[in-house]
Structure 1
Amino acid sequence: MHKSLLKVSLLALAIAAPMAHAFEAGDIIVRAGAITVDPHESSSDIWVGALDTDVAGSKATLDSDTQLGLNFAYMATDHIGIELLAATPFSHNVGVKGMPGAFAGLNGKLGEIKQLPPTLSVLYYPMDSKAAFQPYAGVGINYTWFYDTKLSSSAEDKGFSSLDLDDSWGLAGQVGMDYMLSDNIMLNAQVRYIDIDTKGTTNYGGREVEVDVDVDPWVYMVGLGYKF
């Protein structure tokens, strides 16, 4: 009988233990992990100055990249947090596709760009503040800084010179979850959608080439967090 009571008590403690893992007003949360920016780009037709027209069917492309992601959050209340997304610089290959006829040789890798997408968000945690499982959703504003752009050697050989992308302001949305492993350590997973719009500019044959690009990436992150 005593052994049965002991087993029941230990089970009750194991179930109740996560209830001690609270998100409360004033908590500071730091998360770190692998973060992937996966552009779902949609571009206008490329405007070629040498032709003084858009080239129908031509597009700009961007590939994805994975870096170290960092989140810094402050719990303003038991259910509302303010979060800043940071990361080590992302690097993306920029390409051209769909150029027809005499310009088909311009298709392929154009160059490489780096970008940083700091994002400030307000998060809502709907669960009881003492629950171990903490799903959340948030909205925020993003600033994407494009820098350190450079042309590929093959693009330079084709006659391109210079490469530039405008910085971007846009809205961001996210959903995520934390699962408390202890009073302070948590597992984290999150998915974001960020509105990034930019104009790309290069030079070909002494004339400007322009394209408007909706980068609009999905951003995925998994990692660990620590609550102070």
Structure 2
Amino acid sequence: MLKFLPILAPLTLGLSGVASAGPLGLTGPQDFIVRAGGYYISPGDDTVSFVDETLQFSDAFRANVDPGSEWGWLINFEWKAHEHWGIELAYMDGDSHSSSHADSYFTLGFDDVDYRNVTNFDADISTLSLKYYPLDETCLVQPYIGGGISYTEFGSTRLSRAVRRDLADVGLRGDFGLGSSWGYTWQAGMDFNFGRDSAWLVNVAAVYTRADTDMRLRVFDDVPPPPDLEPIFESYSGDYIYDPWMFNLSVGYKFSF
């Protein structure tokens, strides 16, 4: 539930504004839908231009970050205040991504070394979307489109084992990090109802999100140096665009108050 907190504030404001709008005719029973299932996530690759923060932000190098596709699980809650409109709050928990390749910098001075896995990270995505259903609510098949805001939290960020091992061989160590980011999302999907009187449904959807975050790499001494020597410390940062497609399959339950 804590992962939803960054996005709950705009949701609360939106719901309070809609609920107070008497002319919309929302005083009667309204539908709520809970969906849970799995998804396949396929991020795009991005070229990151790094600057050297220790040298007053001078250009340092470029690297290609190409996370691998993964599977994850999802849950979402939707309020259908009107037969054609819904407000959805969703959370998607992903598996660990591995970047596939980077340029020669990531060899870190080791000749003839080509790392195919430089970094690893998790991406947990929360979205708040307004959805439009064009068909009458009596239809068993309910297509929809939607869009809104997203919040991506990156966790378990680390350099790969091979990079950490080679750094340790020369008395160095390093770390890698990504900052959390707000962005936008849009989606298209379809609910398949089991029957006109059934509360159960199956959902398929394609969801796109975009986050622009800060990627940082640091290299420093594995052990503190003698007092008469300066410690080795380099810090590099660059803007990284994380913009995955997610293909969802879930089961839902609809109820009313």
TM-score bracket, shorter-length normalisation = 0.7 to 0.9
Distance 1:105 1:46 in 2: 21
1:50 shift after superposition: 8.3
Check conservation: 1:186, 1:224, Cα contact below 8 A: yes
1:89 shift after superposition: 4.2
When residues 178 and 87 of structure 1 are mapped into structure 2, their CA distance, relative to the original with a 3 A threshold, is same
Distance 1:218 1:117 in 2: 12
Deviation by residue 1:107-143 (Cα, 9 ceiling, x = unmatched):
3322321221010101000101111110000011000
Counterpart residue number, 1:30: 34
Alignment of 1:213-228 (within 5 A): 213-228=240-255
Counterpart residue number, 1:161: 174
Quick check: 1:84 aligned with 2:89? yes
Counterpart residue number, 1:137: 145
Quick check: 1:39 aligned with 2:52? no
Check conservation: 1:86, 1:117, Cα contact below 8 A: yes
Deviation by residue 1:133-157 (Cα, 9 ceiling, x = unmatched):
1000001100001122222221112
- TM-score w.r.t. the length of structure 2 is 0.71
Identity fraction in percent: 29
Distance 2:38 2:149 in 1: 21
Check conservation: 1:38, 1:64, Cα contact below 8 A: yes
Alignment of 1:101-140 (within 5 A): 105=113, 107-140=115-148
SS at match of 2:86: strand
1:211 shift after superposition: 2.9
1:46 shift after superposition: 3.7
Distance 1:141 1:41 in 2: 22
Counterpart residue number, 2:60: 54
Quick check: 1:150 aligned with 2:177? no
1:93 shift after superposition: 1.4
Check conservation: 1:41, 1:213, Cα contact below 8 A: no
RMSD: 2.4
Distance 1:226 1:193 in 2: 24
SS at match of 1:158: helix
Check conservation: 1:115, 1:145, Cα contact below 8 A: yes
Deviating 4+ runs (over 6 angstroms): none
- Deviation larger for 159-168 or 46-55: 46-55
Counterpart residue number, 1:63: 68
Structure 2: runs of 5+ lacking an equivalent: 1-27, 168-172, 221-232
Structure 1: runs of 5+ lacking an equivalent: 1-23
